[in-house]
Structure 1
């Protein structure tokens, strides 16, 4: 299933979102792993067609839905405890990450510190047939700066089928599938969603190409992350 964003107010959604495409990182961009998928730039406002493309069906799978939310954080609340009341007693706190200002993408490989670009998470290590059932990630922007979540519009199962037409059913969809997809000249539309301090998202980062960004911002941004199986609508929506 492609990128689906839950919203009730189209104007509020469009005010937060911009659209672009991707490219493969260039050799001179030596902060990135070779072959990384990165935004091509030229972000533009969402059109009516863009909004229609991300509009969820009437009964979407919670596990594949993106929500733009206001997590219930308040001073004195331990981040470890924030997600416990949201409908999944087994949700886990993944920790925090600090992004410097002006980063097109934010995630690096902890082994060599090279940026990995837009990617898939793999906490659940799911095979092709089950990739859409993974846990979703909850993010809270702790500030002080604004940050973005970038999401790809084509899902991991569709990309895996395209790259491995003969044996996709035996595969485990991976970031490398997306890299091969883009290197082969296939386009991917991406959506960038603005998150002010205190804002957050719930997204299927095991299923959709994604990464954080602080591009164009002049302050760093820390973010906290959790992983769980939350029912849609459990947090107040910002759109």
Structure 2
């Protein structure tokens, strides 16, 4: 990959992760990044955070060619993102939790999650998620059900310090840069009644590192946990963030240890109900690839 001064510097997408989605209208692109200190929510963020910069827009034809496609048989977990339907049996098992989440009563929802209704919902979700794993590497890691009240902030994840962390890379296994594309990926199911959004930078960690190295700007920023992503956002502030809509009754599979990401949901007075777990999930069949939007992959 050779960078052009009129390309990535001005918001041109790099070829990166493949998106396998139900339709092209699920995606919007931001105008780049901005420090969280420049937003109305600065006091809720920890130091050094970045969030997407508006306005948002639909991707053009060439951008669709970069984003959409069908993961190949040898694709690593860190090479693709998919949105897929959640089976009816999982939604039925979580119906009691969803009803309480609609009231906005966080304490009542937490109590229900910890009780028999929560255990039933979790077991059914685990059965479904286990069926998505690579048969050669079965098993589910860190499963949990939880609720989150959208506050309207540009991103949603909060760190142990109580402040939001902005666009970030997970480090569940704390693997080095060379191993991140092969790390476990993550399922997150939207069990609530409102759309949620996954915010991602389509360039995975190795692509970001290469872009910085070609500018001789990687020195001191190769650590994939924090430094690499922050350096990329500082150097390429116009690079688009990709927003993917995940509707109620859908889930995404994404390699959150291998890309900058976060979540977003509009405030609606209800609690976002989610199931999340990690594992070595395979790309599902179906959905929309690049050929479905009339572009070459």
TM-score relative to the length of structure 1: 0.84
Distance 1:123 1:93 in 2: 9
Q: Any gaps of 5 or more consecutive residues in structure 2?
A: 1-14, 94-119, 290-297
For 1:108-127, what aligned pairs fall within 5 Å after superposition? Answer: 108-110=158-160, 112-127=161-176
What is the aligned counterpart of 2:34 among 2, 20, 23? Answer: 23
- CA deviations 1:188-221 (Å, max 9, x no partner) are 2211111121111101111111111013655431
Q: CA deviation at 1:230?
A: 1.4
For 1:223-234, what aligned pairs fall within 5 Å after superposition? Answer: 223-233=274-284
1:132 paired to 2:132 = no
Structure with higher helix content? 2
What is the aligned counterpart of 1:3 among 12, 17, 22? Answer: 17
Number of the residue aligned with 2:230: 179
Number of the residue aligned with 1:44: 57
For 1:138-149, what aligned pairs fall within 5 Å after superposition? Answer: 138-149=187-198
Aligned with 1:46: secondary structure? coil
1:160 paired to 2:209 = yes
Distance 1:58 1:84 in 2: 20
Distance 1:74 1:166 in 2: 48
* Pair 1:129–1:3, CA change in 2 (3 A): same
Aligned Cα root-mean-square deviation (Å) = 2.6
Number of the residue aligned with 2:130: 84
Contact 1:122 1:206 in 2 (8 A): yes
Q: CA deviation at 1:159?
A: 2.6
Contact 1:62 1:232 in 2 (8 A): no
Distance 1:23 1:138 in 2: 28
Aligned with 2:202: secondary structure? strand
* Pair 1:136–1:39, CA change in 2 (3 A): same
Distance 1:198 1:3 in 2: 24
Distance 2:206 2:91 in 1: 38
- CA deviations 1:126-155 (Å, max 9, x no partner) are 112111111110010011322110110221
Q: How many residues align?
A: 231
Larger Rg: 2
- CA deviations 1:136-189 (Å, max 9, x no partner) are 100100113221101102211233342764588xx5412332112222354322
Q: CA deviation at 1:45?
A: 1.4
